[in-house]
């Protein structure tokens, strides 16, 4: 990666705060690009960036938003140019949809929300993360197919593909959200009491928990280190 170029954080969140949450963990120059429903995907050049991080969103990956065609084209352009890309939840699913097609993503049978355990497999790029760890989850959609050459790096009984890496295509995806620490994560959960009630999930038990490690510090660094070019 060209170290004199910034990391692009593409913010697909409806409230426009995912970019700030993600970039707060980055120890390298960055720029945040906001994506808004009702508007086309912003005109940005892949070669301007050392890496790209696609955020999560409350939009569903199986729906065709106003920006979907442009987002898919941008993912493909980055891949063709050899720009490393990380996707988080919606962004993780976007990487699969853009490289495989719409059949690579699907609606889950039930929501996954809370501090949920994920099994980090030996294939996770760095040994500092291994075994079962609690991470921040909130999703209805999932990835069911990955581009050729991909390796699943984390899993659980709800979503088989919790994380993956594709070294040839320089893709790194996580279904979970590493950008949330315990305070921010629980604040977000507490704002949606009705969601937990509708799904028969004990919010108090969720709020008593937290992440199994410093996901923001570790996961974003692991992404950048995985594709670092000396």
User: What are the catalytic residues?
Assistant: 89, 177, 179
Q: Where are the alpha helices (DSSP H) in the chain?
A: 18-23, 68-81, 90-99, 182-190, 193-198, 203-207, 215-226
Distance between CA atoms of residues 4 and 151, nearest Å: 30
Q: Give the distance from CA 17 to its chain's centroid.
A: 14
Per DSSP, helices labelled H in 117-213 are 182-190, 193-198, 203-207
Identify the three-state secondary structure at position 107: strand
């Amino acid at each position: 990666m060209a170290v004199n170029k910034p990391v692009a954080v593409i913010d697909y969140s409806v409230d426009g705060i995912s970019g700030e949450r993600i970039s707060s963990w980055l120890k390298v120059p960055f720029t945040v690009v906001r994506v808004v429903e009702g508007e086309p995907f912003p005109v940005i050049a892949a070669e301007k960036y050392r890496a790209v991080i696609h955020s999560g969103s409350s939009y569903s990956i199986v729906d065709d938003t106003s920006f979907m065609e442009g987002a898919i084209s941008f993912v493909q352009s980055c891949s063709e140019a050899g720009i490393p890309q990380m996707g988080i939840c919606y962004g993780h699913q976007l990487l699969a949809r853009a490289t495989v097609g719409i059949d690579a993503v699907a609606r889950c049978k039930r929501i996954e929300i809370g501090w949920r355990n994920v099994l980090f497999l030996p294939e996770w790029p760095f040994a500092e993360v291994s075994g079962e760890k609690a991470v921040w989850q909130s999703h209805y959609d999932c990835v069911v197919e990955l581009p050729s050459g991909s390796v699943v790096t984390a899993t659980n009984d709800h979503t088989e593909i919790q994380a993956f890496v594709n070294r040839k295509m320089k893709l790194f995806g996580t279904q979970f959200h590493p950008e949330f620490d315990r305070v921010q994560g629980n604040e977000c959960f507490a704002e949606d009491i009705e969601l937990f009630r509708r799904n028969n999930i004990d919010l108090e038990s969720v709020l008593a928990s937290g992440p199994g490690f410093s996901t923001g510090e570790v996961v974003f660094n692991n992404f950048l280190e995985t594709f670092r070019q000396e």
